[in-house]
Homo-oligomer: A and B are copies of this chain.
Amino acid sequence: MSKQGPECCSPLVAEPLSGGQAADLARVFKALGDPVRLRLLSLIASHAGGEACVCDLTDVFELSGPTISHHLRVLREAGLIAGERRGTWIYYRVLPDVLGRLAGVLAPSATGRSVARATR
């Protein structure tokens, strides 16, 4: 998988995923398959300015700093967020292209981007 996440795909309702596409996508969905990680992603994305530092995130959860850091690392390795150190803190932002690609893969065929079957 590229650093920026999976590069595929047509909507999965349009044509069968290849083994490689499925493996790439499964890694990202697995990263999303945890409630803390989903909330972190959502908190970062919806934070003022589209980015959040760890200091904005830790107070929301009753979890240790290392646990939060672990979940952030999983999101980063899945290509869903990027972090940049500025001064004391690392600031995270969501990579919207990856989310957009995932949304495209899950789109039902009626709204799928690459489905152009005539129905008559």
Contact = CB atoms under 8 A, between A and B. Distances in A.
Copies of this protein, total = 2
Given A107-B99, A108-B103, A43 B29 contact: no
A12 interface: yes
A102 B13 CA distance: 14
B25 A29 contact: no
Interface in A13-66: 13-17, 19, 22-23, 25-27, 29-39, 41-43, 45-46
Nearest to A102: B106
7 contacts: A19-B35, A19-B39, A22-B39, A27-B33, A29-B29, A29-B30, A100-B111
Given A15-B46, A17-B38, A103-B108, 20 more contacts: A12-B38, A13-B42, A13-B99, A15-B42, A16-B39, A16-B42, A17-B42, A19-B39, A22-B42, A29-B29, A29-B33, A30-B30, A30-B34, A32-B33, A96-B109, A97-B108, A99-B107, A100-B111, A102-B106, A106-B106
